[in-house]
Amino acid sequence: MSGWEALFLVVGGFTAGVINAMAGGGSILTVPLLVIAGVPGNAANGSNRLGILTSTAASATSFQRLGVGGLAHAAPILAPVLVGSFLGSLAIGQLADDTFETVFGLLMVPLVLLSLRPPKAATDGDAWSRPVTFIVFLAIGLYGGAVQAGVGLVLLAALSRAGFDLVTANHIKALITLAVTLVAFPVFVWQGNVVWIPALTLAVGLTAGGWVGARIAVEGGERLIRAVMVVAALALSAKMLGFLPF
């Protein structure tokens, strides 16, 4: 890994950490950056989880210190999310690196479209039943364990549908993502899908960004960062699908 690649991972990680804390979708940037830095697809997916682990811990701590109370609300939905995360992380490791990179590149487009319309809290409508809630968050756990990218956006959509304001939903999202990663990351380590030097380098930027992003989320404002994320994600998607020559 060259010095420039290390710099890109730190700067990209910081940007992604801020995005993750404020809404979600930061892994849309960081997994492709790891691939560009020479990490194979499945290993990039696994290596990214180290930074997600540290950055979501920083975000959750920052939200807590700022007086946002999401911990009690996260506890009831942790069980299906954790089961799904474990199963998803086991399954994704069976894909070949080229297949994973193609799948990830295709997933970026709908995830970017989702990020263009941030969810708004919806207090009208009937509450989900327990079976529906279990199935929804089991599916989110499966996706988060397997791919991670965009799971924050999906979580925010589900949590806002449940009526939480977006600041509280962001705190709950950080706690759930932390739990998902605590389950999934050891699976990637066991499978040999973590390249430690790029993973640690990226984690530095992600952690700093997660801490800063939580403060920005509470204070408000994300339009510029989201615009940069969309442009960068579309370019990186084109790169991973082979549409760009560089």
d(CA 235, CA 177): 26
What single DSSP character describes residue 75?
Answer: G
Predicted pLDDT at 243: 66
Predicted pLDDT at 10: 92
Predicted pLDDT at 88: 87
Predicted pLDDT at 26: 75
Please give the residue that has the higher pLDDT: either 11 or 158: 11
* Distance separating the N- and C-terminal Cα atoms of the chain: 17
Q: Which residues contact 87 (CB under 8 A, 6 or more apart)?
A: 141, 142, 145
Q: Mean pLDDT across the chain, nearest whole number?
A: 77
Contacts 24+ apart (CB under 8 A), 95-103: 95/41, 95/42, 96/42, 97/40, 97/41, 97/42, 97/43, 98/41, 99/41, 100/41, 100/42, 100/45, 101/35, 101/41, 101/240, 102/240, 102/241
d(CA 54, CA 87): 22
The arithmetic mean of pLDDT across residues 98-116, rounded, is: 71
Closest to 48 measured CA to CA, from 9, 84, 94: 9
Nearest-10 Cα torsion for 182, 142, 99, 190: 30
Of 35-44, 87-96, 179-188, 196-205, which one has max mean pLDDT? 196-205
State the pLDDT confidence band at 189, using cuts at 50, 70 and 90: very high
d(CA 233, CA 235): 5
Predicted pLDDT at 201: 93
For tokens 């996706």, name the residue.
Answer: 143
d(CA 85, CA 182): 9
Output the CA torsion sign for 218, 176, 179, 17.
negative
State the pLDDT confidence band at 217, using cuts at 50, 70 and 90: low
pLDDT at 224 over 60: no
pLDDT at 76 over 60: yes
pTM: 0.72
Which two three-digit tokens encode residue 96?
Answer: 């070949």
The arithmetic mean of pLDDT across residues 67-90, rounded, is: 79
Which two three-digit tokens encode residue 212?
Answer: 């800063």
pLDDT tens readout for residues 6-24: 898 999 889 888 877 776 6
The arithmetic mean of pLDDT across residues 26-44, rounded, is: 83
